[in-house]
Amino acid sequence: SAVISQKPSRDICQRGTSLTIQCQVDSQVTMMFWYRQQPGQSLTLIATANQGSEATYESGFVIDKFPISRPNLTFSTLTVSNMSPEDSSIYLCSVERQGPGYTFGSGTRLTVV
């Protein structure tokens, strides 16, 4: 199944700044998914990123706050913009496995101070 390299693994950022998270997949995939997971909580889908088109955002998430790029079939970035302490969370990317189910990146633990 696909292997995902996600960077950075963690970061501490000042409020008002932005952080870009990268996910590199070792095979070509049609869709990439971005999730947020607050500590001890479930995973919430932020958006779905298709190569060559704009990302599709879920209710409660907007492009200005979470811009996504998908320049090719193996790479995507998620930017968390104008951060506040409420953005402190774990962010994960995910892709479909070559079999059933999904594979997740190792996550980016973001703390906003």
Residue 43 within binding range of another protein, rule CB under 8 A? yes
Residue 10 within binding range of another protein, rule CB under 8 A? no
For the chain, the residue count is 113
Pick the closer one to another protein by CB: 84 or 111.
Answer: 111
For residues 49 and 21, what is the distance between their CA atoms, to the nearest angstrom?
14
Q: In 3D, which of 99, 80, 98, 83 has the Cα closest to residue 35?
A: 80
For residues 23 and 25, what is the distance between their CA atoms, to the nearest angstrom?
7
Residue 32 within binding range of another protein, rule CB under 8 A? no
Residues within window 44-103 making contact with another protein, judged by CB under 8 A: 44-45, 48, 58, 92, 96-97, 100-103
The encoded tokens of residue 17 equal 């700044």
The encoded tokens of residue 35 equal 């999730």
Pick the closer one to another protein by CB: 85 or 99.
Answer: 99
Pick the closer one to another protein by CB: 57 or 75.
Answer: 57
The encoded tokens of residue 45 equal 């889908």
Pick the closer one to another protein by CB: 82 or 98.
Answer: 98
Interface residues with another protein (CB under 8 A) are 31, 33, 41-45, 48, 58, 92, 96-97, 100-107
